[in-house]
Amino acid sequence: MKKLRIMVDIDDVLNNLLDRWVALLNKKHNLSANAQDLKIWNVQGIYPSLTVEAVYRPMYENEIWGMLSPRPTSVEYLKRMIDDGHDVIIVTAAVYQTLPAKMDWLFAAFPFLSWENVIIARRKQLIKADVLIDDGVHNLEGGEFFKILMDSPNNRDYDAEGNGMVRVYTIKEAYEAINKYLIGEKPDGKAIF
Residues annotated as catalytic are 9, 11
Count of residues making up the chain? 193
Q: Which of 69, 111, 120, 67 is nearest to 93 (CA)?
A: 120
CB-CB neighbours of 104 under 10 Å:
13
- Cβ-Cβ contacts under 8 Å for 145 (sequence gap 6 or more): 7, 129, 130, 131, 132
- Cβ-Cβ contacts under 8 Å for 84 (sequence gap 6 or more): 1, 3
